[in-house]
Amino acid sequence: TEVPRASVEFPSPGVMKAELRWSASLLSAHGLLHSAKWAAEQAVGLGTSECSRSHDCNAIYNVQAVPAEEEDAVALAKVLYDVREFRRGVHALQGCSSPRAVFLRGY
């Protein structure tokens, strides 16, 4: 007899990145800081893959005045500050020059 095989379809990296961004924002808003840190770190770990068109990253992850290439670093820095990991937060902002990144770095 033939054994049925399970088939799992994973979302694209862009969809995963958008959902991790959304999760980090939502978890942070609810005070679940270590969980938010994990989600933000995973989003950074996915690199610079573009978000899926079916997921509007800017609408899901409302960050104003931050270029797309800095969004994950700024989100990670904010979460690291929330969990009192200030040196890691400053390190996460290396190479970022948006007004929000400069503000966070000076914080």
pLDDT digits (tens, 9 = 90+) for 37-46: 999 999 999 8
Total number of domains constituting the chain:
1
Residue 57 has pLDDT above 70, yes or no: no
Residue 5 located in a structural domain? no
Range of the domain at 65: 13-106
Query: Percentage of the chain surpassing pLDDT 70?
Result: 82
**And the tokens for 66?**
């931050």
Q: pTM here? A: 0.57
Residue 50 has pLDDT above 90, yes or no: no
Residue 1 located in a structural domain? no
Q: Work out the burial of residue 29: count CB atoms within 10 Å of its CB; fewer than 13 is exposed, 13-18 middle, 19 or more buried.
A: exposed
User: Among 30-34, 52-56, 82-86, which range has the highest average pLDDT?
Assistant: 82-86
Using alpha carbons, select from 24, 69, 79 the residue that is nearest to residue 49: 69
Res. 3 pLDDT band, cuts 50 70 90 = confident
Residue 90 located in a structural domain? yes
Q: Work out the average pLDDT over 82-105.
A: 92
Instruction: State the pLDDT at residue 68.
Output: 85
Residue 35 located in a structural domain? yes
Alpha carbons 43 and 98: distance in angstroms, whole number: 19
Q: What is the CATH number of the domain that holds 98?
A: 1.25.40.10
Single-letter residue type at 74: V
